[in-house]
Chains A and B, each alone.
Chain A
Amino acid sequence: MGHLGDGALRRLIDEPLAMSDSERFHYQHCERCQARRREYEVETESAGRLLAVGPAEVDTQAALRAVTARSGQPAPAPLRLFARSASSLNAFRRPILLAAALLALASVAVTAGPALLTTTIFEPKGPVTTVTVNPPTGDTEGLVAGLPDLSAYGDMTVIKKAQTQTGVTAAEAASTTGLKVLTPPAQYATGSVTYTTVTASEGSFTFSKTKAIAAAQAAGKPVPVFPDGIDGSTIDVTAGPALVEVFGTVDKNSTLSNLPLIVASSKAPVVKSTGVSYEQLEAFLVAQPGIAGNATLVAAIHAIGAPLAAGQLAIPIPADRATSKDETTSGVPGVLISDKTGLASALVWQKGDIVYAAGGHFDESQLLAIYQSIG
């Protein structure tokens, strides 16, 4: 086997029994891995010293009384059972929906913390990261149907509509978007090149308790939960411009096994939010019928929310369909996402305020070669 990874060596320091037999055999005979472990141990001891704190002895009984006195709300409805989704697309749609909602939440957290705000901006600085989202278990036919339709929770206003143009020249694409046209190595960029541009767009969403309740009642769904402060607050999102370059043909006959090289770049989204704190918005989301009490969804929300709150774009990865790993090339951190069949992969990275992606029917080494050429 190859050398042990950073994570395995780090865990060896804390939990040596967690090592597999093959890892242990390699480690015992590999001076390089042993040296790396010693190096990591020095850093671990250093972190331990830095993070040392005094004892935190607590009076649990007194604390319980204090919390009991402050808790005025009843617990939510019992755990819900969900049905299996028949649509494979829905398995992707839900994490994306959550990511979009959490992107808005993160916009508040980045610069605001828990305090109430009037305006806050989310501007991801990178690196891009991924969050594995576990698929729902059990019968999920009703899962997607049971989720709240967040678009019915208020009023959407399109301030600036995106204009899409396909078949423009490289010069026009660069001029329209202000983005650099990327030129990958010739051996991967076979076939004709199609440039598609998308201009910047802007929209705002204002939460409306009245509208949400009416929509839920009309659809025969559970009444949404609106904690104080949500009703009337507004989220503004600016996205793009974006440029997509397809080196070959993508049509109805395209599959993962013949997907050509696709390179995309886009200005990272900017989000502004008014009126409510991060905690309020996150609590709002996890309290909704269809989400509250569902451990998988709540875990996904928190998992996606953490990097977003730190100012990173987070890409949800359905655990049953794709894998991802961090990939730093030429000093720029990115993520490599691969579908589980191994037929298609994509590399995503961020430089400045531009997010880039390159993907297709390529393996990791090919994508890295493409990245090194254009990244």
Chain B
Amino acid sequence: MQAINASPRTGVGSRDDFERLFREEYPRVVGIANRVLADRQAAEDVAQEVFVDFHRLHRADAPYAGPWLHAAAAHRALNAIRSRLRRAKREAAYPAPVPADPAEEAERAEERRLVRAALARMPNRGATVLALRYSGLSYSEVAGALGVGVNQVGTLLRRAEAQLRREVERGTSR
């Protein structure tokens, strides 16, 4: 594989642009993926995939770079938990390893699982708005990532929060 470098097609300085974009956005993109996955290592994997895709498809100085990366991080992380849940279903027939942690850890793990399952069941837009906002993006940044007006963000967020609560309750009562 060849490395990223400046070339006639990418234009002079494109490598610098990409590195600057990466340094500015990588921690935040990991944060968004981690908000969905609750798994830092998996979040880093997702973030790196997102940057690889972005580099393949877009210029680093594109004005939409930030919103694209934020939305892609949330979408890819949501896809990852959905895949993970499907895989868990398939593997449910096999005995799980006995946890070495005390009951408190098991309880926390169960809550994490319930929340991830709830996010996976929610419509993408709702789950995405939660991931973005609770990762610290402003309403304006969330609007940019979702392609909606800033005045719509509060409404989407309000609905998504209510839906998250319902979905977690639904998962708990199962």
A positions within 8 Å CB-CB of B: 5-11, 14-15, 18, 40, 43-44, 46-48, 50-51, 53-54, 56-58, 60, 63-64, 66-79, 109, 113-115, 129, 131-132, 278-279, 283, 286-287, 292-293, 295, 298-300, 302-303, 306-307, 309-312, 326
Selected contact of A299 from candidates B64, B149, B158, CB within 8 Å: B64
Nearest-neighbor residue (CB-CB) of A43 within chain B? B161
Of the candidates A43, A63, A306, which one forms a contact with B47 in the assembled complex, judged by CB atoms under 8 Å apart? A63
Do A7 and B154 contact each other (CB < 8 Å), given the known contacts A48-B134, A51-B35, A312-B123? yes
User: Told that A78-B11, A279-B76 touch, could you supply 5 new A-B pairs with CB distance under 8 A?
Assistant: A8-B154, A46-B161, A71-B1, A132-B148, A307-B125
CA distance A58 to B146 in the complex (A): 25
Q: Which chain B residues border A71 with CB–CB below 8 Å? A: 1, 3-4, 51-52, 55-56
Instruction: Known A132-B147, A299-B64, A303-B147; judge A51-B55 contact (CB<8 A).
Output: no
Partner of A302, one of B43, B71, B154: B71
Q: Is B155 in contact with A10, judged by CB distance below 8 angstroms?
A: yes
Contact indicator per residue, chain B 141-169, by CB within 8 Å of chain A (1) or not (0): 00000111101111111110110110010
Distance in angstroms between the alpha carbons of A59 and B159 in the assembled complex? 35
In the bound assembly, the distance between CA atoms of A116 and B38 in angstroms comes to 25
- Asked if residues B40 and A54 are in contact (CB atoms below 8 Å), the reply is yes
For A15, the closest partner residue in chain B by CB is: B139
Interface residues of B, dominant DSSP: helix
**Interfacial chain A residues near B110, Cβ < 8 Å:** none
Identify whether the interface residues of A are mostly helix, strand, loop, or mixed: helix
Give the CA-CA distance A76 to B61 in the complex, in Å.
12
Closest 3 CB pairs of A and B: A303-B147, A7-B154, A7-B155
For the complex, give the distance between the alpha carbons of A131 and B128 in Å: 15
Contact residues in B for A56 (Cβ distance below 8 Å): 27, 30-31, 34, 40, 43-44
Q: Are A76 and B58 in contact (CB under 8 A)?
A: yes
Q: Which residue of B lies closest to A13 (CB)?
A: B154
How far, in angstroms, from A311 to B79 measured CA to CA in the complex? 13
Quick check: A10 and B158 within 8 Å, CB to CB?
yes
A278 to B38, CA, bound (A): 24
Flag if B52 contacts A79 (CB, 8 Å).
no
User: Which residues of chain A have C-beta atoms less than 8 A from B60's C-beta?
Assistant: 75
Instruction: Kindly identify, within residues 34 to 76 of chain B, every residue whose CB is under 8 Å from any CB belonging to chain A.
Output: 34-35, 38, 40, 43-44, 47-48, 51-53, 55-60, 62-64, 67-68, 71, 75-76
On whether A293 and B53 interact (CB within 8 A), knowing A51-B134, A75-B10, A303-B146, the answer reads: no
